Chain A
């Protein structure tokens, strides 16, 4: 297992002035596994994700992708290496159709985007990839609807579909299920279960039931520091974690 580490951080830190948003985090993410990241608000989960996808520069420490050091590269270069991310706040192209949203995401894989003449609608592969991504998240009925006009939960699904359309090998998902209805989240959980067979997924999520169900590895962050990483059972039985975070919720203690 240890030899298929695909993404790795070494003493990763982010400081804002005197505030340590994230301090000395060393983690390993494996291929074909879902790696959950939990922690109370302000624990540094989003900061970690933002650094893993290159939009935030670490104050110190390194990020390795397939053994190659990549921190400090431009965000779009991260994407080209196959690191795709979804945003916590829905971040879509509100004025165009869902299909077009995913087509923007898919286009880079199939055709030159510096083509000034060929119509954007003329590439079949782009269209198929975009449609496939929409099917995967269950938005097939919304293909031609303007993104601003679908419900909030559906926009969350679209958010995920756009990441899938880039066909990444690593998925960084920032609370993909926040704001979804029960039925929709069930669908996404099923989808993630299926996707983790072939992708490395880093999942930040507040829905504890979902994360316990899905995670192969689970990391707990608290106040910018790394408490523990292990399997779901290991984490649940760790007294430190119970104290800091999970212990507050009685039913989960019983479940463990």
Chain B
């Protein structure tokens, strides 16, 4: 069983049951389906961050770089007025993104601790300003996707990306695949050494493991998952712009992950839903929603020691 905790199993069972049914109830309201789709895509992004920060021990404040890259690479590399195959191009783009992550990772992993936070922040800020100041990539306005890709596999087409409900299930599938992928990796032999490197890097090296290599591979995996989330987000809204890459984006994702319970992975889903839910609620209550959001965050830090997942586990375990 890759889901070790009871709380985890209960939460995921409830989550997937509701998530599968949502379009059935909201079919008529495509705005809400779209809104929930966005939350699912964000959850993929936050899970990938939770994996890196909570499980590998790499606290990055530049994760949004790859979220943005996923979108930009797609728009830049696909022909403008031709519907390409989604799966083929997703494969190319994630491969390319993984290569970029490999190079960036090899650089940033030379530092550690607070310096790692800062160098990842610096690199994502660099990329942000690069796209912000670039004329060929649309500057601050970004780039638009004029043709949604088609999604046939071996000539069989069952997903239409222009249909909000279809897109919704594509995002839900991404959540499931990301969750399973991270859980399998964490349980694997590779995951054992990754865990050991986080708990005690000095000892792990003294047992004969090159922890740099383990961290680098993890960094590439986390970044690639983030890029997939970014690609989906760009496809949902039909554009990509530098706002994908701001440090506020990285920071918000970090807030969601900590709120959910760092390192629990399922907590990332919980944190994303809670954060987005509160945001939606507050935005509709008052113009000064930031005051409520900020106070809610402060309160939750003070009251919840291990995030929402930690709180649920306290209620449900044993």
Interface residues of A in 103-117 (CB under 8 A from B): 103-105, 107-108, 111-117
Give the docked Cα–Cα distance between A96 and B208 (Å). 19
Interface residues of A in 35-68 (CB under 8 A from B): 53, 55
Give the docked Cα–Cα distance between A95 and B195 (Å). 10
Does B9 touch A at the CB level, under 8 Å?
no
Q: Are B189 and A85 in contact (CB under 8 A)?
A: no
Q: How far is the CB of A240 from chain B (nearest CB, A)?
A: 34
Does A91 touch B at the CB level, under 8 Å?
yes
Give the docked Cα–Cα distance between A94 and B203 (Å). 11
Interface residues of A in 160-175 (CB under 8 A from B): 162, 166
Chain A interface residue number, banded: 35 or more
Does B204 touch A at the CB level, under 8 Å?
yes
Among the listed stretches B115-123, B134-142, B180-188, B285-293, which one makes contact with chain A, having 4 or more residues with CB under 8 Å of it?
A: B180-188
Q: How far is the CB of B94 from chain A (nearest CB, A)?
A: 16
> Which secondary structure dominates where chain B touches chain A?
helix
Interface residues of B in 178-235 (CB under 8 A from A): 184-185, 187-193, 195-196, 199-200, 202-211, 213-214, 217
Q: Are B188 and A117 in contact (CB under 8 A)?
A: yes
Give the docked Cα–Cα distance between A51 and B191 (Å). 30
Does A123 touch B at the CB level, under 8 Å?
yes
Chain B interface residue number, banded: 20 to 34
Which residue in B188, B200, B208, B214 is a CB contact (below 8 Å) of A119?
Answer: B188
Which residue in A96, A112, A121, A166 is a CB contact (below 8 Å) of B207?
Answer: A166
Give the docked Cα–Cα distance between A63 and B188 (Å). 36
- Complex interface: chain A residues within 8 A of B196 (CB): 93, 104
Give the docked Cα–Cα distance between A114 and B194 (Å). 10
Question: Knowing A55-B206, A79-B208 touch, does A91 contact B200 (C-beta < 8 A)?
Answer: yes
Question: Knowing A76-B210, A79-B206, A104-B207 touch, does A118 contact B199 (C-beta < 8 A)?
Answer: no
Give the docked Cα–Cα distance between A35 and B138 (Å). 70
Does A230 touch B at the CB level, under 8 Å?
no
- Complex interface: chain B residues within 8 A of A79 (CB): 206-208
Interface centre among A100, A103, A117, A166 (most CB of B within 10 A): A117
Q: Are B208 and A80 in contact (CB under 8 A)?
A: yes
- Complex interface: chain B residues within 8 A of A91 (CB): 200, 202-203, 206
Give the docked Cα–Cα distance between A123 and B189 (Å). 9
Does A135 touch B at the CB level, under 8 Å?
no
Q: Are B199 and A120 in contact (CB under 8 A)?
A: no
Does A75 touch B at the CB level, under 8 Å?
yes
A53 nearest CB neighbor, chain B only: B206
Does A92 touch B at the CB level, under 8 Å?
yes
Give the docked Cα–Cα distance between A90 and B33 (Å). 54
Does A248 touch B at the CB level, under 8 Å?
no
Which residue in A85, A96, A120 is a CB contact (below 8 Å) of B206?
Answer: A85
Q: Are A93 and B200 in contact (CB under 8 A)?
A: yes
- Complex interface: chain B residues within 8 A of A94 (CB): 199-200
Does A74 touch B at the CB level, under 8 Å?
yes
Give the docked Cα–Cα distance between A116 and B211 (Å). 15
Which residue in B191, B202, B214 is a CB contact (below 8 Å) of A120?
Answer: B191
Question: Knowing A108-B209, A117-B184 touch, does A93 contact B190 (C-beta < 8 A)?
Answer: no
Q: How far is the CB of A49 from chain B (nearest CB, A)?
A: 11
Task: List A residues at the B interface (Cβ < 8 Å).
Answer: 53, 55, 74-76, 79-80, 85, 87, 91-96, 100, 103-105, 107-108, 111-121, 123, 162, 166
- 30 A/B residue pairs, CB under 8 Å, sorted by A: A53-B206, A55-B205, A55-B206, A74-B210, A75-B205, A75-B206, A76-B209, A79-B207, A80-B208, A91-B200, A91-B202, A91-B203, A103-B192, A104-B193, A104-B204, A107-B192, A108-B209, A112-B189, A113-B190, A113-B209, A114-B213, A114-B217, A116-B184, A116-B188, A117-B185, A117-B188, A119-B187, A162-B203, A162-B207, A166-B208
What 8 A-B pairs are tightest by C-beta distance, nearest first?
A: A79-B208, A120-B192, A104-B196, A93-B199, A115-B189, A116-B190, A105-B207, A91-B203
